[in-house]
């Protein structure tokens, strides 16, 4: 493995790619839980430190076939258990977490090694690092992109996703990833729902910036309505239960000596999973099914729902707990509070920095679209970003 000054890349290797294609001018990296033939495939676990992938994941192959140049593998929270990627520095904001679990992918982009990167998203793992580093991210509709060749965390919630330096590159790569042509931009005004935080989860400055987003989009001629998303805390708790339960099933065949060689966060999570009761897991799924039905009904009325990506600013790199809604919670809980919903419902999401934000890093916005409306969502995100810039 080749050392990297930002500790974002774990291995570099030249991989055959198409010499022509829509991505032929772009470079990309791949998270170390997605297979690239002959490259590290450790998922961040010491147990698999010497493991190499035997074949390339279909998702990665589609990008190679599209002409993109592979530049290396990137660091991850071990097994995807986490939202910080603590071994990787944030190139733009070194005092803050880089986010996770696709933090190495975000760092590789912001350090200038590549234009976009492959990540995975089980509860926000491409959107969280994008928010921590001021870049863009995309999680497709569940099932639109194959999970073959992906080391799983929670198979029913895992998505292959992308991070990119900007929305233009993100859309370009995302359309290749999902195998579709660009969607014709909608010329009429968009129907946009903007979340209103009746539960008091958003930090005050983030809520104020979201109010300004709603005002600006209305001033730009879009039909904007404020809508609440009920039960955010309950859904986040349900997400945590489901992740632990499915992960425990996946790791159940490992022997004790092997479990001791997993990442520390993974070991702690798997110990906690032993406390889960079957009825609690089923209750979590019932919450998810009800929430998904509500979200599909809501999104049928709009082109997109806009929310903050994170309810609080990215915490310090050495932080373990943050203040959320008046209480202290673990970093991973705060970071996934708003992102996990789209994993539970399977809807596509695009995240990008808020042009109105004066924070450092700028507050990130996420736009959720209807199931299988990925192309429309990507086009709508570009338009919304442009209109927000124009309305500054």
Q: Which residues are catalytic?
A: 31, 101, 125
Q: What are phi and psi of 330, to 5 degrees?
A: -60, 150
Exposed e or buried b for every residue in 195-231, given b needs 16+ CB within 10 A?
Answer: bbbeeebbbeebbebbeebbebbbebebebeebebeb
Count the neighbouring beta carbons within 10 Å of the beta carbon of residue 234: 13
Cβ 331 vs Cβ 84: under 8 Å: yes
Exposed e or buried b for every residue in 254-287, given b needs 16+ CB within 10 A?
Answer: eeeeeeeebbebbbebbeebeebeeeebeebeeb
* Separation of alpha carbons 53 and 73, rounded Å: 11
Tokens 């104020």 identify what position?
208
> Chain centroid to CA 234: how far?
20
Helix (H, G, I), strand (E, B) or coil at 237: helix
Closest to 135 in 3D by CA, of 173, 162, 159: 162
CB < 8 Å & 24+ apart, contacts of 324-333: 324/201, 325/199, 325/200, 325/201, 325/233, 326/200, 331/83, 331/84, 331/97, 332/82, 332/83, 332/84, 333/236, 333/240
Residue spans of alpha helices (H) in 40-195: 58-65, 103-110, 127-133, 167-178
Element (H, E) at 121: strand 116-121
Q: Where are the beta strands (DSSP E) in 216-374?
A: 223-227, 304-308, 321-324, 327-330, 349-353, 364-368
Cβ 250 vs Cβ 81: under 8 Å: no
């Amino acid at each position: 493995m080749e050392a990297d000054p930002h500790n974002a890349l774990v291995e570099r290797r030249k991989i055959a790619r198409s010499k022509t294609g829509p991505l032929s001018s772009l470079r990309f990296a791949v998270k170390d839980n997605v297979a690239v033939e002959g490259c590290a495939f450790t998922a961040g676990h010491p147990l698999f430190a010497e493991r190499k992938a035997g074949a390339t994941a279909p998702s990665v192959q589609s990008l190679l076939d599209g002409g993109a140049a592979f530049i290396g593998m990137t660091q991850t929270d071990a097994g995807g258990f986490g939202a910080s990627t603590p071994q990787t520095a944030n190139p733009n904001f070194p005092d803050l977490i880089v986010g996770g679990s696709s933090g190495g992918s975000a760092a590789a982009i912001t350090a200038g090694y590549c234009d976009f990167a492959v990540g995975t998203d089980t509860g926000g793992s491409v959107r969280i690092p994008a928010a921590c580093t001021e870049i863009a991210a995309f999680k497709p509709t569940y099932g639109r992109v194959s999970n073959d060749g992906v080391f799983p965390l929670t198979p029913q919630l895992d998505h292959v996703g992308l991070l990119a330096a900007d929305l233009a590159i993100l859309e370009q790569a995302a359309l290749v990833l999902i195998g579709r042509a660009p969607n014709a931009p909608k010329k009429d005004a968009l129907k946009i729902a903007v979340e209103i935080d009746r539960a008091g989860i958003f930090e005050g400055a983030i809520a104020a910036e979201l109010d300004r987003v709603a005002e600006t989009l209305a001033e730009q001629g879009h039909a904007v309505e404020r809508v609440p998303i009920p039960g955010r805390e309950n859904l986040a708790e349900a997400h945590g239960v489901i992740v632990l339960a499915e992960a425990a099933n996946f790791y159940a065949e490992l022997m004790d000596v092997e479990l001791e060689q997993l990442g520390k966060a993974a070991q702690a999570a798997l110990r906690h999973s032993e406390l889960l009761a079957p009825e609690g897991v089923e209750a979590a799924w019932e919450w998810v099914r009800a929430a998904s039905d509500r979200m599909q009904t809501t999104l049928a009325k709009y082109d997109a729902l806009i929310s903050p990506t994170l309810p609080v600013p990215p915490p310090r790199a050495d932080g373990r707990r943050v203040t959320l809604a008046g209480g202290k919670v673990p970093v991973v809980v705060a970071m996934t509070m708003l992102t996990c919903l789209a994993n539970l419902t399977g809807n596509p999401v695009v995240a990008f920095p808020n042009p109105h934000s004066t924070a450092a890093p700028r507050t990130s916005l996420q736009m959720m679209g209807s199931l299988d409306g990925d192309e429309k969502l990507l086009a709508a995100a570009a338009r919304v970003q442009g209109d927000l810039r124009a309305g500054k």
